[in-house]
Structure 1
Amino acid sequence: MARRSPKTQIVAFKVEEELAQFLDKLPNKSEFIRKAIIAQFGMTCPLCTGTGVLPRGLHNHFSPVLAANRNRACDRCQTVEQLPMTLEGLDDDKLVRMEQFFHGGPFYCEKCFPEVPPCDNCGWHVPLENIAEHHRKIHSV
């Protein structure tokens, strides 16, 4: 597992009282803020639209929908697995596999993932027949 670089800079910003109270209740405020900022570079959540908070009615409506739709078929063999709702607490093997999918890469079951070779540039597991397309989409800026 790659070592994280030490954090050497402090960044401060002002927030509303309610947000400050929310952040103060978190076990690791800095880690939460880092993750939230990094998440903004990715896809905005269609439910919370990037705020990180859902109104209670939307939460109550969509929670059962999300829970009932966590299954995903392997892109190679079509074996169905249940997706985790978060990457936290996953063992290292499952973490690498799920990180690839969570970051927009193909999804492979536990059996297929090690059988598909990793890209030399990014480490994503990509079938040889799709490697040229992968390089065009991911590595061509």
Structure 2
Amino acid sequence: MQLPADEPIATATLDGAYDTLGSYAALLERGIMPVIPPRKNAKAWKSKIVGSEVRNAAIAACKRVGRRIWKRWSGYHRRSLVETKMHCFKRLGSRVKARTFDRQVAELQVRAALLNRFTALGCPKTVAVAAMG
């Protein structure tokens, strides 16, 4: 992970490609609760495996209420909102160029300010001409 080891993180929302033993083990080792959708053909892990409780609960919930509801209930759907915003930032340049986390944050803050300015310039100002009635 790129974040410092002492950085507190409550949850990590990752896509289905991270539905692996290694991902769950790495996250839980740091005390991070993984929010990873199980693959569509996922089978429950044995109880001895690190992360099996979390993953098996996600599999059971997906079977019980469906993947769509599980994604809303778990907060997984917010990931797409973040990805959309990152896409907007990246459109301002080909990619995030900074290598360290602090510099990436600073770079994205500058891009966010630009994006907000562009958004403000492009928003129409609506004025009521006459009252309906």
Structure with more contact order per residue of length (Cα contacts < 8 Å, sep ≥ 6): 2
Q: So what's the TM-score if we normalise by structure 1?
A: 0.25
- Higher relative helix content: 2
Q: So what's the TM-score if we normalise by structure 2?
A: 0.26
Q: Which is greater in Rg?
A: 2
